[in-house]
Amino acid sequence: MDAVLRADAAVLLWLNQWVGHFPAWDAVLEVFISDYFAPSALSLCLLGMWFAGRDARERDRYQRATIRAMIALGLASLAVLIINQHLFRARPFIDHEVTLLFYRPTDSSFPANPAAVAFAMASGIWEGNARVGLIFAIFATVWSVGRVYAGVFYPLDILGGAAIGITISYLVGRALRLLEPLPTIVLRVAGMLHLA
């Protein structure tokens, strides 16, 4: 286990060493990895997915994927919260000398909540539209790796968060299929209220 943690720290330090060498890149990344930009952009994309679709069948598929993504994102956040109650890993800037592009979070580093949320959304959307799901996944990857680069997460924190998000999204998809016709009823009622 010590070898894995040393490798984890080595990857972090290798990425973080580049902070300050490319000021324009750092400025863009500071905005992108903030607590506001990526969540807002992903949420707006979910809203767009809800109303997208060339016909009723495609719109239904997109709305089901959006429901799955929203439930998965909430449950992924809850899973990270529960894990953080029982497991604490210090942030990289506590144990290593890193250059920060971010404020100093005080919660546990493992698992990374941003990765859990972003990958839960990406894998939820994947079911409805693989191309849009891939864009979400790329966005989630850049957001997550950017936070390692910025010195606030270790790579294993990101991998743990991503695994939680993807797993929960898969389980939510299975549960929604088992709960049929409830999702169909919800979509019909939303349609009658002009919300879908």
pLDDT in tens, 35-57: 999 999 999 999 999 999 899 89
Which has the closest alpha carbon to 92: 171, 158, 20, 37? Answer: 158
**pLDDT given at position 156:** 97
Rounded Cα distance, 12 and 23, in Å:
19
Q: Are 114 and 147 in contact (CB under 8 A)?
A: yes
The pLDDT tens digits of the residues spanning 137-162 come to: 999 999 999 999 999 999 999 999 99
Task: Please report where in the chains the tokens 């894998």 appear, as a residue.
Answer: 123
Share of the chain above pLDDT 70, in %: 100
The pLDDT tens digits of the residues spanning 158-172 come to: 999 999 999 999 999
User: In angstroms, what CA-CA distances link 113 with 51, 161, 164, 190?
Assistant: 27, 6, 9, 30
> What CATH number is given for 2-16+37-192 in this structure?
1.20.144.10
Residue 130, pLDDT above cutoff 90: yes
Write out the two tokens for 186. 């919800």
| Structure-derived torsion over alpha carbons of residues 18, 37, 112, 16, reported in degrees to the nearest 10 | 10
Residue 127, pLDDT above cutoff 90: no
For 125, list phi and psi in degrees, rounded to 5. -70, -30
Q: How confident is the model at residue 66 (pLDDT cuts 50, 70, 90)?
A: very high
Rounded Cα distance, 103 and 89, in Å:
17
DSSP alpha helix (H) spans, the chain: 2-16, 23-32, 37-51, 56-86, 92-95, 113-128, 130-149, 155-178, 182-192
**pLDDT given at position 174:** 96
The pLDDT tens digits of the residues spanning 72-106 come to: 999 999 999 999 999 999 999 999 999 998 889 99
| Angle at 156 (CA atoms; ends 2, 16), nearest 5 degrees | 95
**pLDDT given at position 196:** 73
